Amino acid sequence: MRVKKIISSTLSTLMFMIFVLLVAAVVISKASGGEPTFFGYQIKTVLSGSMEPGIHTGSIIALKPGGDMTRFQKGDVITFMSAENILITHRIVNVEMNKAIGEASYTTKGDHNDGADGAPVSSTNVVGQYTGFTVPYVGYAMNFAVSKAGSVLLMIVPGLLLLLYALYSSWKAVVALEKKNVGASASEPLPDNPS
């Protein structure tokens, strides 16, 4: 009986935590335009294999945005906006400083690519520095979450989980009440049978 109670409590807690996490994911995703920020770090999705094996396709990475974008050195991994308005995360293989205008020009290369990128990256196009934090495959889920179908699903799933949690809690209460009633009726004395 005690094991059943522990399992029941664990399931209730787990369902509630999943509900809270899904609601938080929806709110953060919508508030940030689909790109969440946690404690000052931007979370980005990697959709190519150019940085494998260090960063796998479909991973999420944490970036540290802001600061002096001319501070980077050879070997640093940065995320920058390309001429086609696509975010790219590559490693710096060469740095040229233009002190006259206070800008740096970075030659970048994907770790998995054979050669350096075609055009140098201006420090004004750098979004942030890769922190080394990556979680494989979560990026696929994040991309789905910001799509129209994903947004709808993320609005419906928390509501369904809340409904399931309410139904489960109600069922538990009914079962407990029935057991109490059965226990009370079993302990009542039987009426005397006149003979």
Residues classed as catalytic: 48
3-state secondary structure of 76: coil
- Bridge partners of 77? 91
Neighbour-count burial for 112-137, b at 16+ CB within 10 Å, e otherwise: ebeeebeeebbbebbbbbbeeebeee
Sheet holding 37-38, edge to edge: 37-38, 41-45, 60-65, 126-135, 77-81, 87-98, 103-109, 121-122
Cα separation of 168 and 162, whole Å? Answer: 10
